Amino acid sequence: MSVETNEMKTVEKRESNVFGMVEPMNHEQVMFFNDKETGLKGIIAIHNTVLGPSLGGCRIWNYENESDALWDVLRLSRGMTFKSSISGINLGGGKAVIINNPKIKHDEAFWRRFGKFVDSLNGKYITAEDVGTSTEVMSIVMQETKHVTGKPQSAGGTGDPSPITAHGVFLGLKACVKELTGSDSLEGKKVAVQGVGHVGHTLVKHLVESGAKVFVSDINQANLEAVAKAHPVTVVNPNEIYDQDVDIYSPCALGATVNTETIARLKCSIIAGSANNQLADEGVHGHTLLDKGILFAPDFLINAGGVINCYREVHSLSLEKTQELVENIYSRTLDIFRKSKSENIPTQEAAINLAVERIENAKKNRN
């Protein structure tokens, strides 16, 4: 199975049939699950397992339709393949999505049933927390399967991965500043952070402590108030975050916020944040950013702290080794910028090429 990069050209095309969506991204396996008793309904996508078992969080979301859910899980699992590969860890890419039904209770039976479905894949997919799930949920899932990470510390896990993710994003962001100015100091730099949830809030802390002037937006009033209470930040309207006169835009909420409309509005010279799949169409918007002279830190490269933390649980890595893998994000981001410059290709493409190269080499060595 190949993960060749020309898939980038087709990846944004929505097809009306399942295989039409699955084939262009080269997934190994897609499992649809449905449990009448608990109302659990969802999809697990296993993109690639050449480097190791696929790992990725379980997201629960109010999808408008089933095709949106499939599209989400396919894109996210593919991103996990690249994330683990470029981070130098021996994991493949997978993801689970659960189609939320507001009438259904997310009780113990619901999550245990999910655990059973994960277990039926015999370790080919390892789950973890993601949007809408938590370490507490994982402590229920682990009663049905050992193929689970992101467990609470009280259950032998490493707990909430967000602080380590935020640290990696901060390092990636500093590498961007280094690339453009020759120094990675953030003193006086203006940063617009979209989304101040688990990762965004901690990132704001790092930024403020480094002397940056931070602008924040969120649609959740409680999260906004918490960050404004803890740090000297300027709160802006969610829709005005793209118009701020800042050096850096840091998307830490949703994917696809870097698109034709927002790129035209952005005044920054750097985009670096935690959200997955920031480019709405990676075959198009990577080039738009390159042409416009905006330096883009590929999200799967700089937000890898969370998956590195999960890897620590799978392989019982020491904290030192885990930290070393996260610290590498800084130098690897600079490597990607060099590659992008020398080959005159978008940074996203340079990062995907490097990730694919490692997978292809592993395949050759295995053969």
Point out the residues that are catalytic. 95
Q: Which of 93, 157, 161, 283 binds ligand NAD (CB under 6 A)?
A: 161
CB 306, min distance to ligand NAD, A: 3
The DSSP result for 110-178, as a single string, is HHHHHHHHHHTTTTSEEB-B-TT--HHHHHHHTTT-S-B-S--GGGTS----HHHHHHHHHHHHHHHHH
| 3-class DSSP state of 59 | strand
Instruction: State which residue, 24 or 200, has the beta carbon closest to ligand NAD.
Output: 200
11, 31, 131, 280: which one binds ligand NAD (CB under 6 A): 131
Q: How far is the CB of 367 from ligand NAD (least distance, A)?
A: 32
Amino acid at 241: I
* Distance (Å, whole) CA 291 – CA 136: 45
Question: Can you tell me which of 54, 162, 210, 322 binds ligand NAD, judged by CB under 6 A?
Answer: 162
Q: Give the helix ranges, DSSP H, for the chain.
A: 18-22, 66-86, 108-119, 135-141, 162-181, 198-209, 221-230, 260-265, 282-292, 299-302, 305-315, 319-343, 347-366
Q: Which of 134, 220, 234, 260 binds ligand NAD (CB under 6 A)?
A: 220
Q: What residues numbered 287-346 form the site for ligand NAD, per CB under 6 A?
A: 303, 306
Q: Residue 194, interface with ligand NAD (CB under 6 A)?
A: yes
Among 197, 205, 226, 231, binds ligand NAD (CB under 6 A): 197
Tell me the window of 98-106, 271-279, 287-295, 344-352 that interacts with ligand NAD (CB under 6 A).
Answer: 271-279
Q: Is 233 in the site for ligand NAD (CB under 6 A)?
A: no
Q: Are 73 and 114 in contact (CB under 8 A)?
A: no
Work out which of 191, 212, 252, 271 binds ligand NAD, going by CB under 6 A.
252
Nearer to ligand NAD by C-beta: 212 or 252? 252
- Are residues 104 and 41 in contact, defined by beta-carbon separation less than 8 angstroms? no
Please tell me whether residue 87 binds ligand NAD under the rule CB under 6 A.
no
Strands 58-61 and 92-99: parallel
Residues that bind ligand NAD (CB under 6 A): 131, 161-162, 165, 194-200, 217-220, 223, 238, 252-254, 274-276, 303, 306
